[in-house]
Amino acid sequence: MAAQQQDDIRAARALYARQMAALLGQPAERLQAAFAAVPREAFLDDKPWRIVSPGGATVTLPDNDPTLIYQDVLLALQPERGVNNGSPSLHIRLLHALDVRPGQRVLHLGAGTGYYTAILAELVGPQGSVTAVEVDPELAAAAERNLRPWKQVKIVRGDGFQWPRGESDRIYVNFALGRPADAWLAQLPLGGRMLFPLGVPAPAPRTGVRHSIRGGAILVENRGPGFAATYVAPAYFVWAAGQGSEDRLMLRKLGEAFDGGGIEFVRSLIWKGTGDPSRCWFWHGDWALSYDQPPL
């Protein structure tokens, strides 16, 4: 690759990182630096690159020119299945809320081909660690290849509902689901944060891959006696594979909660506890999202 082309790519990536960080409306130097450091093109294959339009159709780029992908667009990873690498403007907002710090232990569930895993690795630095779990064998194999430059990253081919195997300071979930897994909350230490896309799935298409049709990203923090919970942004991710819950009653009630509105007023997550259902945005079984502050 010619030196001028390399300079053009670096300049496009730096401008893209600045633009994405500016959308936060507040200083985000570390996030901007992480987005500027990771080459997005390194996480795509050699096939013609495709951008996913808002309606779900894909547009094939005229050539695999990296300067064309440094914009707020979805890039198709498995277009025949509707799998993409996620909106940069959404992910930078979610990562800002997650507040990943140098030296932390991070668990990334639903790593895809590893682009946002690499950004997490930049955020924790060489003294931190990132465990990236991906259930799809093809995507996991690509992530293993793509993430070799980041020695602090470990790739696991498996079911994200079965992780972590030890405490994680930050958990970043990149698939939609109807409830957080018990293992995630059990291994979240005091002060630890988890961000997951809560949602309701669309009917299964012929490809077998579903997306959420109602959804919102929820940030959870372990406060000791309880879990604080905050709604961050609308989020419509690929629906969970693996051993996630398919409780139809729970999903119906969750859909009704989304339709009723008010998720932005959620303040705590009740897990294996009791509370007042009238004070909850959603309640089912042993967990709930409540309007009340967590106990002190």
**Domains recognised in the chain with CATH numbers:** 83-290 (3.40.50.150)
Tens digit of each residue's pLDDT (9 = 90 or more) over 136-174? 999 999 999 999 999 999 999 999 998 888 999 999 999
Spatial CB neighbours of 128, under 8 Å, sequence gap ≥ 6: 102, 103, 104, 105, 106, 121, 152
Query: What is the residue whose two structure tokens read 């130097």?
Result: 29
Tens digit of each residue's pLDDT (9 = 90 or more) over 126-138? 999 999 999 999 9
Mean pLDDT of the chain: 93
91 versus 211: the higher-pLDDT residue is 91
64, 236, 209, 282 alpha-carbon torsion, rounded to 10° = 160
Question: Where residue 28 falls among pLDDT bands split at 50, 70, 90?
Answer: very high
Query: What is the residue whose two structure tokens read 């997951």?
Result: 196
40, 194, 29, 24 alpha-carbon torsion, rounded to 10° = 90
Token reading at 151: 């020695």
> How much of the chain, in percent, has pLDDT values that exceed 90?
82
User: CA quadruple 116, 117, 123, 125: dihedral positive or negative?
Assistant: negative
Q: Give the end-to-end CA distance of the chain in Å, rounded to a whole number.
A: 58
Return the pLDDT at 202: 86
Question: Where residue 67 falls among pLDDT bands split at 50, 70, 90?
Answer: very high
Tens digit of each residue's pLDDT (9 = 90 or more) over 253-290? 999 999 999 999 999 999 998 778 999 999 998 899 99
- Whole-angstrom Cα distance, residue 217 to residue 169? 18
Burial class (CB in 10 A: 0-12, 13-18, 19+), 194: buried
Return the pLDDT at 126: 97
Token reading at 266: 């959620």
* pLDDT tops 80 at residue 241: no
Return the pLDDT at 294: 92
Tens digit of each residue's pLDDT (9 = 90 or more) over 73-116? 999 998 887 889 999 999 999 999 999 999 999 999 999 999 99
Question: Where residue 53 falls among pLDDT bands split at 50, 70, 90?
Answer: confident
Return the pLDDT at 250: 93
Return the pLDDT at 207: 62
The b-or-e profile of 79-96 (16+ CB within 10 A means b, else e) is: eeebbbbbbbebbbbbbb
Q: Where is average pLDDT lowest: 27-36, 44-53, 256-265?
A: 44-53
